[in-house]
Chain A
Amino acid sequence: MSSEPIKIRIKRQSDAKSPASWVDFQIPYRPSMNIISCLMEIQKNPVDAAGKPVDPVSWDCSCLEEVCGACTMVINGRVRQSCSALVDNIRKENPGQPISLEPMTKFPVVRDLCVDRSRMFESLKKVKAWVPIDGTHDLGPGQRMNEAEREESYHLSTCMTCGCCVESCPNYNEDSKFIGPAAISQVVLFNSHPTGKLNAGERLDAIMGEGGITDCGNAQNCVNVCPKSIPLTTSIAKASRATTTRMFSKIFDT
């Protein structure tokens, strides 16, 4: 069965305003294919399952090694990167079934599987996810760090802003202002950095207002879909404690 042609259903729309519809494709099987190589086949030979010429499918991709985050989409109902989605594994999970590909639902569709995730980058701006250095001139090395703490922070800093966490989050949508797990986890990252923590208050303030941490409904989907297994719920809990402390200290200090 494994060398049978690959059946793929793709949810398509020609631009942001057009209605979406499903189109079936059939692709010759080769060993070790991933979803990207299926989409590349369609690009080279854009015909649907019936052999009728169609416009090739648009999708975003770049690194193809699950480190840039570009090729994120919903595959068989699950949000993930399409480069690391191997056809053999997917077919083992759902034998005989076509593979469905959809754009992420929490962002505006540009075309087909391309979406505009600028809202996530705006959130990083909002929480001031950076260490405010004095300048690029030579000021010697940064502060020393304990290797165990470094390792924990390194894990948080592997976030690709791919959008899996917010796609799976029931509290993140067009109508809500929720900033999402990725940005909250970045607050924790920068607030634990030896010099980043000098500005911890500003970042906490940014997640204390509307759309901030209290909008998290604790569904815990984020941590299950993160491709880098970032402990997002742990980050949310840490940020939650820190904001509570800050809120009380603000009340009692004034």
Chain B
Amino acid sequence: MAEPRIAVVGGGLAGLMAAIRVAEKGGKVLLFSVVPVKRSHSVCAQGGINGAVNTKGEGDSVYQHFDDTVYGGDFLGDQPPIKAMTANAPRIIYLLDRMGVMFNRTPEGLLDFRRFGGTLHHRTAFAGATTGQQLLYALDEQVRRFEAEGKVEKFESWEYLSSVIDDQGVSRGIVAQNLATMEVKAFPCDATILATGGPGRIFGKSTNSMICTGYAAASLYKQGASYANGEFIQIHPTAIPGEDKLRLMSESARGEGGRVWVPKKKGDTRAPRQIPEGERWYFLEEKYPKYGNLVPRDIASREIHSVCYKHEMGIGGGAKVYLDLTHKPREVLDKKLGGILEIYEKFVGVDPREEPMQIFPAVHYSMGGLWVGYETKADGEMDMAHPRTHMTSIPGVYAAGEVDYLYHGANRLGANSLVSCIFSGDVAGPAAVAWAKGLAKGAESVDKAVFDREVSRMQAEVDAVAARKGGENPFKIVDELGYLMLSECTIVRTNDGLKKARAKLDDLQARADKATVPDSGKTANQSLRFAHQLPYLVQLAKVMVDGALARNESRGAHYKPEFEKRDDENWMKTTMANYDAKSNAPSLSWVPVDARFIKPRPRTYGAGGS
């Protein structure tokens, strides 16, 4: 066989890292991205990347990072992959440093580290408050170097539509669509790595970029891949409410000393700085004296939600609380948080150095995603070189980054996403090359009919969408989908609400299947593209709601007041969803969590001194 050809779908941190590793291993990379890779959603990550480097001499260790991540994920995460990720995190940070990431420095010129949620250590390396952007640019530059050498070929403004699967059930490449010319075409490849990010668009407005629709994952799920832990959606506690999107206000704002509070007097109309210290309710610091404002995201979001809705103590009676940095010196803020404070100032028109910010939780990240396997060695450690590690349930298709489910259990710790994205690409790239090298025959010798068949299927699907008449506008339907999912499937979930939502999803599915494209254009037809994706998004929403409905316990981001406690006996299990064509809905099963290293313990974060 000639050099292995690997399709990498997605140009964020996971995809670019995978591309670099494939190129290093001698494979040829076909890199697909809906936007120029430099514009991928990884740019939105702000606060930093975790790795136990212990620069501050606090006794931090790789094991402590591992334990914090497992505990933070409420013991739903499979432990060998988390152990491997945390062990490799310092190496990854050093690699990024060598690539030229402009990480903030200590007076000695070493990498500086800041505090983040869910840990008591300074473990987060950062480049101002645009760390994701800076990491993405570093990987983008390395990929450009390989591109100049001919080892990477980019297909930007191409959208993954589906995988080409042969009669033995093995993936032989992908079908993609050119978003300018709308051409649908097959690309034979020996392995595929999906690094397509999260599904924020299903919730209407979130902190995600507009390109984060979840379509690619939903498409592979419909082709037979298992989707794991779909019900675990992270709600970030601090976002800026907006008309078009909910912009993230990084956890680093709290890591650098930001304090969350509301006035003690209900409906207090005074300007925030007129309210004396003694008349402010610092509810997180009060309830969690040990972690304070840096409790994990699921807990902070629930507390803010409860202050606003249960206690009706939100600012002016509304759904907002203060995030206050005004006690910090301006020059410190500019140096460490400049990027995010500018975003607030630019979009809200208020200087957060002078006046406390007004924030509220927003959908941020999916812990769930495409199921991927991993192999372990005799000592129980993950076998990073094994071709089945990071492979989805479809042979030859890998998943890496937010689109996989592997590293965060029931709740992701802040600044663990950048490290999981890069680490998963670092593992999936070589695994895909190993798989390709072990194939008896490469994609180039597979019968052309296998590819033609999949192109015809997708072309017919797209043509059918374009030909519909008399249905609704797809962008109106997705607003309804988002509103439904936000109200019933986020911070507080009830079985009644979930059942109603599930019935409504059947209605939305029927309407999405009939949505009409109001655009007659032959070029860059964005409405056609979205109308084609929409039914898939509803399919994924069903996975999330069904998973949440079944899970009668509270764990991490999944909170049901009717089942307030974590139930390890019945629910220390990964939810597996598989598409069932007959019911046009997911069929669910559960597999035990691999907790071979750390025994589960109650997750309290020292609430009330416990």
Contacts and interface: CB of A to CB of B under 8 A. Distances in A.
Contacts of B20: 136
A246 interface: no
B130 interface: yes
A124 to B, nearest CB: 6
A66 B99 contact: no
Given A14-B521, A150-B105, 15 more contacts: A14-B523, A45-B473, A58-B526, A65-B248, A65-B343, A65-B347, A67-B343, A84-B347, A86-B347, A114-B180, A141-B98, A142-B100, A144-B110, A147-B105, A160-B39
Contacts of B107: 147
Contact of A136 (B109, B145, B426): B426
Contact of A196 (B100, B103, B244, B339): B100
B526 A43 contact: yes
Interface residues of B, number: 72
Contacts of A66: 343, 346
Given A142-B94, A154-B128, A55 B519 contact: yes
Interface of B: 20-21, 24, 35-36, 38-41, 43-44, 91, 94-95, 97-100, 102-111, 127-128, 130, 133-134, 137, 141-142, 144-145, 147-148, 156, 180, 209-211, 242-245, 247-248, 335, 339, 343, 346-347, 349, 426, 473, 475-476, 479, 518-527
Nearest to B45: A67
A110 B102 CA distance: 35
Interface residues of A, number: 72
B521 A83 contact: no
27 contacts: A14-B522, A37-B243, A40-B475, A43-B475, A43-B526, A43-B527, A62-B210, A64-B247, A65-B44, A65-B247, A67-B133, A68-B44, A121-B36, A128-B148, A129-B141, A130-B100, A130-B141, A130-B142, A131-B141, A132-B145, A141-B98, A145-B105, A147-B106, A151-B335, A153-B102, A158-B133, A161-B38
A34 B473 CA distance: 22
Contacts of A60: 35
B110 A56 contact: no
A2 interface: no
A36 to B, nearest CB: 5
Interface of A: 14-16, 30-34, 36-37, 40, 43-46, 53, 55-56, 58, 60-70, 83-84, 86, 110-112, 114, 116-118, 121, 124-125, 128-133, 135-136, 138-142, 144-147, 150-151, 153-154, 157-158, 160-161, 190, 193, 195-196
Contact of A138 (B94, B148, B245, B524): B94
Contact of B24 (A69, A130, A135, A147): A135
Nearest first, the 4 closest Cβ-Cβ pairs linking A and B are A144-B109, A130-B141, A154-B102, A142-B97
A45 B519 CA distance: 11
Contact of A144 (B105, B145, B147): B105
A157 B137 contact: yes
A154 to B, nearest CB: 4
B475 A147 contact: no
Given A55-B520, A133-B142, A64 B244 contact: yes
A177 to B, nearest CB: 18
A146 B105 CA distance: 7
Contact of A125 (B130, B134, B144, B343): B144
Contacts of A145: 105, 109
A131 B144 CA distance: 11
Contacts of B95: 133, 136, 138
Given A44-B476, A154-B127, A158-B130, A62 B35 contact: yes
Nearest to A68: B39
Contacts of B473: 43-45
Contacts of A58: 521, 524-526
